[in-house]
């Protein structure tokens, strides 16, 4: 996906089908992720859509707003995150907010607004890494590790 598509927020929206994204050869993180999911599902690989936030100090595409990536289930390993927009495996710099079948399950805002006037929603999130915490081992594990 990374080599196939160009990141461009203009031509697509949350309802753009994968076939149109392939035609345009451009889109945003949700488009990259939906394409990844379509290919994984065609290959019978269990996978899910993930939305969340990235560490903003890494200069990755998608750090300024909510980001999308995929998780695939790998037998013997478990769920592994794949970020097709940045061509990376998800790690501790990826902070999951939700996962589901597609964007519709994970949209950042859901609800109904009834108004006579205009409406605009803005949000801002800052993600900062924390120092790793020490993992405490139960006493029986500490004893077996010393032997």
What is the number of domains present in the chain?
1
pLDDT of residue 7: 93
Distances (CA, A) of 99 to 14, 35, 105, 106, 113: 16, 16, 7, 6, 24
Considering the domain boundaries, does residue 58 fall inside one?
yes
Considering the domain boundaries, does residue 10 fall inside one?
yes
pLDDT of residue 141: 46
Considering the domain boundaries, does residue 133 fall inside one?
no
Q: Which residues of 11-32 are buried (b: 16+ CB within 10 A; e: fewer)?
A: bbeeebeeeebeebebbbbbbb
Considering the domain boundaries, does residue 134 fall inside one?
no
pLDDT of residue 107: 78
Write the CB contacts of 17 (distance below 8 Å, at least 6 apart in sequence): none
Considering the domain boundaries, does residue 143 fall inside one?
no
pLDDT of residue 129: 61
Query: Residue 84 maps to which CATH number?
Result: 3.10.620.30
Quote the domain boundaries for residue 38: 1-103
pLDDT along the chain (147 residues), means of 10: 90 90 94 95 96 83 85 94 95 91 80 76 66 56 48
């Amino acid at each position: 996906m990374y080599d196939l598509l160009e990141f461009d927020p203009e031509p697509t929206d949350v309802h753009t089908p994968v076939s149109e994204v392939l035609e345009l050869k451009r889109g945003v993180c949700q488009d990259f992720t939906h394409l990844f999911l379509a290919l994984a599902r065609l290959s019978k690989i269990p996978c899910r859509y993930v939305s969340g936030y990235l560490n903003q100090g890494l200069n990755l595409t998608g750090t300024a707003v909510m980001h999308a990536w995929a998780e695939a289930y790998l037998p013997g390993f478990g769920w592994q995150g794949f970020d097709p927009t940045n061509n990376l495996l998800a790690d501790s710099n990826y902070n999951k907010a939700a996962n589901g079948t597609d964007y519709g399950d994970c949209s950042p805002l859901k609800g109904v607004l009834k108004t006579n006037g205009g409406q605009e929603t803005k949000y801002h999130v800052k993600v900062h890494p924390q120092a790793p915490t020490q993992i405490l081992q139960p006493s029986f594990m500490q004893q077996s590790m010393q032997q």
